[in-house]
A = this chain, B = another copy of it.
Amino acid sequence: MIILNGGSSSGKSGIVRCLQAVLPDPWLAFGCDSFVDAVPARMRESDGGIVFAADGGVSVGADFRALEAAWMDGVAAMARAGARIIIDDVFLGGVASRQRWQKAVGDLAVLWVGIRCEGAVAAGREVARGDRIQGMAASQAEVVHEGVSYDLEVDTTHSESLLCAQAIAAHVI
């Protein structure tokens, strides 16, 4: 498994697609976006679910966490069943978020990758995307990496997604 962690608009999704293109074997890609799509619509914007505030803040409730834990266990089971898996996530809880994944993956071989991007640049890309609440990029740029250790870090501030993906792929093949 490859687990990527980075703030909103740091370029995770682009790197995932490039990784799938440059890695010779087929890798399945899942992430926090595909998980949020899987929960009931009413859990987006409810107390027990996930709430995206107008200022870009994101808060997560107990019901959401319970489903997420089962989802993580299932993703790890896909890897145990033989699938190569790329995960992109936003470690809103920093070290605690990494521990949740650690618990799910157990002794599976995982490449932990930090995706960094300067907050001001990520905020500009958030404007250019136009589909995200303004403020998420800046508020998440640093906090998601606090105390988290990685096997590898890439920085999209001055480097293209494809180059970052090639650097990650070099650790896999």
Contacts and interface: CB of A to CB of B under 8 A. Distances in A.
Contact of A125 (B49, B129, B161): B161
B30 A38 contact: yes
A53 to B, nearest CB: 14
Interface in A36-91: 37-43, 49, 63, 66-67, 69-71, 73-79, 81-83
Interface residues of A, number: 49
A77 B69 CA distance: 11
A97 interface: no
Q: A-side binding surface: helix, strand, loop or mixed?
A: helix
Nearest to A121: B160
A39 B78 CA distance: 13
B70 A17 contact: no
A162 B14 CA distance: 19
A39 B83 CA distance: 11
Contacts of A17: 41, 127-130
A167 to B, nearest CB: 13
Interface of A: 11, 13-15, 17-18, 20-21, 26-30, 34, 37-43, 49, 63, 66-67, 69-71, 73-79, 81-83, 121, 124-125, 127-130, 160-163
